[in-house]
Structure 1
């Protein structure tokens, strides 16, 4: 089992004006797989379908812009923008960096939504960008403290799918349930999920959230974004609190909820 996580940022420049749905996550998802297919159809196929129910990566939308009132992002010709790729399975990292490195070096014209772009840079060293970071699964667990207070900031709308239905309520059992499923899929350190039933009994201690509709090509998804805090009571044992704090730190890499491979659910744990 591979134990490293990595998050890096791709900088691009538009070759023409373009309009992207929502936060641009759907278009970035298409660009991501175009780059991978140009490098290795085998790698692209594994990432698209995979052998695991959980996807081993997440993608942000355009980091510098938010959708206008009509739910779209407008990029002018010659404009620079960037997005974040997060990898949850270490063995994939060399191929993904090589694929984007190849596209960068060849100055390949690539498709983003309804326009063309060039890749301009790959930021993968910590300190180059706030969204660039790496860690090890065991390190996240070892360094986590059993804090009673856990606060998240959701940078893009977050939603959940429950038995085929969309849920936009920020329930602790949904947030941590999403995180523990992804952690158990890729970390090699399996957390017992039985204690998470207790999460049905806790509610946000404070929040500043708003709902927002994200436009995709053929549908729309409603999600919440903003700041949310939970307090863990005495019903949680010390080790259970440590696990929940580990998962909160893991959120930076994994994203939370539905459509994290198309820009939704981008969240970070806020430490005070």
Structure 2
């Protein structure tokens, strides 16, 4: 089960909320979780959630968004969020008020797969909006461009880890899928994300991908990119990097 939660944050006067504040909020969230579950999370390479913070211009509010990737994470994190009226940020030395906490979306993995595999026509492409700094790591080096193979590798790893009943796997599948995408438009800029005083280089902006290949290839691409807003893309999605929204071009 996939869920997305949202909360409006009221910061003290004069306080700023850059994307990298997601790292501080993550630490504060971990402190609120049951001890045994927090201990379990520290042993996991892939966390069953993503989270990020951003300024919503339309609402003129700082929005904290958390996506959970399995039922346990959704239930535990959801219960913790609903119990909070404020959260203390020790690294900042102040408390943030939380308002309008709600689950804005809930879907099953099967529901997402059915949306594309039962549709009459396969999707034609997608837009990906990178809302917070995004980066990938390959061979020990940071990759600060949205390479299709790395995007798809990131999504396949999380989908198969948290949805073992509907696995999407085949040898070199990320590369095979990437070979059937074509970048048709982009508007990107470099961006940094600070973690404990260290800046990780990445990018923000948006890209458009056109899908090619067989119906099956395009249906898998649509499925994975619909999953992306819950999972995030790339590295350190639990700390606030790699938050995305996607728009799938259907039919």
1:209 aligns to 2:188 (yes or no): yes
Partner of 1:76: none
Q: Provide the TM-score with structure 2 as the length reference.
A: 0.85
Q: CA RMSD in A?
A: 2.4
> Which of these residues, 176, 182, 198, is aligned with residue 198 of structure 1?
176
Partner of 1:123: 101
Partner of 1:265: 242
> Which of these residues, 94, 97, 113, is aligned with residue 78 of structure 2?
97
In structure 2, the gaps of 5 or more residues are: none
Partner of 1:175: 151
Q: Is the 8 A contact 2:233 2:244 kept in 1?
A: yes
1:44 aligns to 2:23 (yes or no): no
CA-CA distance at 1:204 after TM superposition: 1.3
Distance in 2 between residues matched to 1:21 and 1:147, nearest whole Å:
35
Q: Is the 8 A contact 1:18 1:115 kept in 2?
A: no
Partner of 2:223: 246
Q: Provide the TM-score with structure 1 as the length reference.
A: 0.79
1:219 aligns to 2:216 (yes or no): no
19 and 115 in structure 1: CA distance in 2 versus 1, 3 angstrom threshold: farther
Q: Is the 8 A contact 1:17 1:115 kept in 2?
A: no
Distance in 2 between residues matched to 1:15 and 1:228, nearest whole Å:
35
CA-CA distance at 1:241 after TM superposition: 1.3
SS of 2:46's partner is: coil
Whichever structure has more strand as a proportion of its residues is 2
Deviations 1:39-92 (A, max 9, x none): x10111122323xx3210001024448xxxxxxxxxxxxx96330111001122
> Which of these residues, 108, 111, 131, is aligned with residue 136 of structure 1?
108
Partner of 2:10: 13
SS of 1:33's partner is: helix
80 and 224 in structure 1: CA distance in 2 versus 1, 3 angstrom threshold: closer
200 and 252 in structure 1: CA distance in 2 versus 1, 3 angstrom threshold: closer
SS of 2:84's partner is: helix
CA-CA distance at 1:169 after TM superposition: 1.9
